[in-house]
């Protein structure tokens, strides 16, 4: 099957290449003149990085393999500093490139390191998880975590290209694959209802990379993100809709010390955002119940500990979507109809959480 190319437009347009067995497309995504490529990848998964390095070496490039910790442990200033030191030792110049290989945490880190080295070198992302393909690697957001919150330090740095080889999804653990579906489902509620119908048609198939709708679901979610970030790279307007469900999700991740999958936290956050929308008079209970039903049908959580609310509320105060003391939420006025709710009352926030914590 041929590769699909989805163009992310804007000041620095680039392609997201989607297909099975498309790794050979990687060298073509790099700009002309690149000589050295630093491949950033999880230390525990050398078998993922090895074919990437091989394709680049076959193309005549000098390749540096730079392993980093797994998952969110990679997204720290200490690990970023180790990458900067490696770039310096090996002479990575402004005309060279970084390639991020792995899940969303790895591509976030690789993008941030590329954005900050020599004030910006090109990066190509090779996501190998569902979450990475449909969300983290597309859009140009890069970042690391601090003790105070997730992704509070970062930069907007569009990649030179993104390569999604669907063959890599076969080795992704089922729990991780299902967690990635939360971002796919989010895309259905904020922009593309066909995504929801495809999952409702075959929820069991949606939970596996061999499902009949898998490629269409992935391409549709990437197209949703491409359309949004192409119109608003720096989250000054429409891009905020991608944060639907994420205010509570990021707070849950902090409470869990990141020992919860991002997609699982997002799933709970989607239910909370839907309840907030309903209680504010924007949508009916049918949309909330559809949210719960679709998430539950693929095995994603829809509730969280009711006693956790005070701690979650504290973490929500430090949120990238806040403006000064004003807390902002992305909410629904209907399926594929998104707006903002600014400075909601404490009573409304807590009432919505009671529906999630029941």
Which of 182, 201, 191 is CA-nearest to residue 272? 182
Residue 125 — pLDDT band, cuts 50, 70, 90? very high
179-227: pLDDT as tens digits: 999 999 999 999 999 999 999 999 999 999 999 999 999 999 999 999 9
CA distance 160 to 97: 9
252-285: pLDDT as tens digits: 999 998 899 999 999 999 999 999 999 999 999 9
Annotated binding site: 70-75, 104-108, 128-129, 141, 150, 183, 246, 262
Please name the residues in contact with 41: beta carbons below 8 A apart, sequence gap of 6 or more.
48, 49, 52, 65, 66, 67, 68, 100, 101, 102, 106
Annotated binding site for NAD(+): 70-75, 104-108, 128-129, 141, 150
Catalytic amino acids?
119, 141, 183, 225, 235, 239, 243, 246, 250, 262
The answer to whether the CB of 145 falls within 8 A of the CB of 16 is no
Residue 236 — pLDDT band, cuts 50, 70, 90? low
Token pair recorded at residue 239: 């891009």
**pLDDT at residue 128 tops 70:** yes
Which pLDDT does position 148 carry in this prediction? 81
- Domains of the chain from N-terminus onward: 4-171 (3.40.50.1970), 174-356 (1.20.1090.10)
């Amino acid at each position: 099957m041929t590769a699909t190319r989805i163009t992310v437009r804007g000041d620095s347009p680039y392609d997201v290449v989607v297909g099975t067995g498309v790794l050979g497309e990687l060298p073509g995504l790099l700009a002309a003149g690149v000589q050295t490529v630093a491949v950033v990848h999880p230390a525990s998964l050398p078998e993922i990085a090895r074919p990437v390095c091989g394709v680049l070496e076959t193309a005549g490039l000098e390749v540096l393999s730079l392993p980093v910790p797994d998952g969110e442990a990679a997204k720290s200033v200490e690990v970023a500093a180790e990458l900067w030191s490696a770039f310096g030792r090996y002479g990575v110049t402004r005309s060279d490139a970084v390639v991020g290989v792995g899940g969303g945490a790895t591509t976030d880190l690789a993008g941030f390191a590329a954005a900050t080295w020599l004030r910006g070198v090109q990066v190509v992302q090779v996501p190998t998880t569902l979450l990475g393909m449909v969300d983290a690697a597309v859009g140009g957001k890069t970042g690391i975590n601090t003790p105070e919150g997730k992704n509070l330090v970062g930069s907007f740095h569009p990649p030179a290209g993104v390569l999604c080889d669907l063959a890599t999804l076969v080795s992704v653990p089922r729990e991780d694959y299902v967690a990635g579906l939360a971002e796919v489902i989010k895309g259905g509620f904020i922009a593309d209802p066909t995504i929801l119908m495809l999952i409702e048609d075959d929820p069991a198939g949606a939970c596996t990379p061999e499902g009949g709708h898998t490629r269409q679901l992935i391409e549709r979610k990437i197209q949703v993100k491409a359309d949004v970030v192409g119109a608003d790279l720096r989250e000054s307007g429409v891009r905020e809709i991608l944060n639907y469900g994420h205010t509570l999700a990021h707070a849950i991740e902090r409470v869990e010390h990141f020992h919860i999958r991002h997609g699982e936290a997002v799933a709970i956050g989607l239910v909370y955002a839907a309840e907030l929308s309903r209680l504010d008079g924007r949508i009916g209970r049918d949309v909330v119940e559809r949210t719960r039903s679709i998430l539950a049908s693929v095995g994603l959580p829809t509730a969280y500990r009711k006693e956790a609310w005070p701690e979650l509320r504290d973490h929500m105060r430090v949120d990238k979507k806040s403006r000064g003391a004003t807390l902002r939420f992305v909410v629904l006025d209907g399926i594929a109809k998104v707006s903002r709710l600014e400075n909601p009352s404490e009573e409304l926030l807590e009432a919505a959480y009671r529906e999630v914590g029941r």
